[in-house]
Amino acid sequence: MKQPVMYIGTIGQSVWRSTDLGDSWKRASNGIFAEADIRAIAVDPDNSSVVFAGTENGLYRTADGAETWQLVDSEMNGLQIWDIEISEKNPNTIFVGTCPSDLFKSTDGGKTWICLDVELADECAGGAIIPRVTSIAIDPEDDQIVYAGIEIDGFRRSTDGGKNWETINEGLSSLDIHGISVIPGQPKKIIVATNNDVCRTDDLKYWTPLTVKDYLPWSYARAVFHCPNGENRVYLGAGNGPPGNEGGIFYSVDLGDSWEQADLGMMSNSTIWNFAYNGNVDDLIVAYSVSGQIFRSTD
């Protein structure tokens, strides 16, 4: 089987592409500022030549596998793009989260966009950062259900494709939401990574902190990931802060009740920031750190 193309976004060095599972990389930023900040990349699940990249000045799209990029003209122009999520069931449906915090939606594959009516904070307590939508998750069982995590403004849910939203923050260890993972089943479970713990809910009314500091050397969690064919296995990216100078990957086989450290062969040079997965390649998971390390697992 042909190896999948991998894309990586960098801060200050734009988009890079690999055709050999990350063994080598080439810049792929024709049409994007060569020193752009790329915080989000999403590949169309039905057409891998179509890729979206989020920059500090709006959203870009390629239809030729990153040979060329075009700015998607929309209200997102000039905004930092922090997350892009494409519906697996209907790839014409796309959600984007920005800084300052707003949520945008397209239902025609990214041709046109609307800014969703959702109440989000304009500023953070203390004013240290501007609120941003750091994570979006589309429910794998019902793509009308959408979740959003805001740094620093908590958790939101919509059950009607983004028309209406509710805030679900009770029990959270922190309103600083970094990552969201949805685990299908009865009951469905949602796990979020925050700046000081990992929290879980199975009723979407109240969150339970999982006290990861009992298992991890750090409580700062940045990314949480559930592999669709991984049953109860959940992965966590963590470290000693943003950006930090230490980090690691941890996994749980009991939905977060306990955690073990994955063997990276070394200490990560900074916090593990996120994970990537290709459903067409069994057991392939990729993770990356704030400071540019990329880790690959095939088991």
CA 146 to chain centre: 13
31: left (phi over 0), alpha (psi -120 to 50) or beta: left
Q: Looking at the DSSP assignment, which residues form a beta bridge with residue 280?
A: none
**pTM for the full predicted model:** 0.95
Instruction: Indicate the pLDDT class of residue 13, thresholds 50, 70 and 90.
Output: very high
Residue 75 CA to residue 102 CA, distance in Å, equals 10
Residue 237 CA to residue 260 CA, distance in Å, equals 12
Q: What are phi and psi of 232, to 5 degrees?
A: -95, 10
- The type of residue at 180 is I
Interval 219-228 mean pLDDT: 93
Instruction: Indicate the pLDDT class of residue 222, thresholds 50, 70 and 90.
Output: very high
pLDDT at 126: 64
pLDDT digits (tens, 9 = 90+) for 98-155: 999 999 999 999 999 999 999 998 887 666 789 999 999 999 999 999 999 999 899 9
Is the pLDDT higher at 281 or at 36?
36
Structural domain boundaries in the chain: 1-167, 196-299
Instruction: Indicate the pLDDT class of residue 74, thresholds 50, 70 and 90.
Output: very high
Instruction: Indicate the pLDDT class of residue 282, thresholds 50, 70 and 90.
Output: confident
The answer to whether 87 and 96 are in contact (CB under 8 A) is no
What is the DSSP code (8-state) at residue 1? -
For residue 271, give both structure tokens.
Answer: 């916090």
Cβ atoms < 10 Å from Cβ of 142: 13
Residue 297 CA to residue 39 CA, distance in Å, equals 22
- The type of residue at 214 is D
pLDDT digits (tens, 9 = 90+) for 22-69: 999 999 999 999 999 999 999 999 999 999 999 999 999 999 999 999
Q: Which fold has domain 1-167?
A: Methylamine Dehydrogenase; Chain H (2.130.10)
Residue 52 CA to residue 58 CA, distance in Å, equals 11
Helix, strand, coil fractions of the chain, as percent rounded to 5: 0, 40, 55
pLDDT at 225: 95
Residue 181 CA to residue 190 CA, distance in Å, equals 6
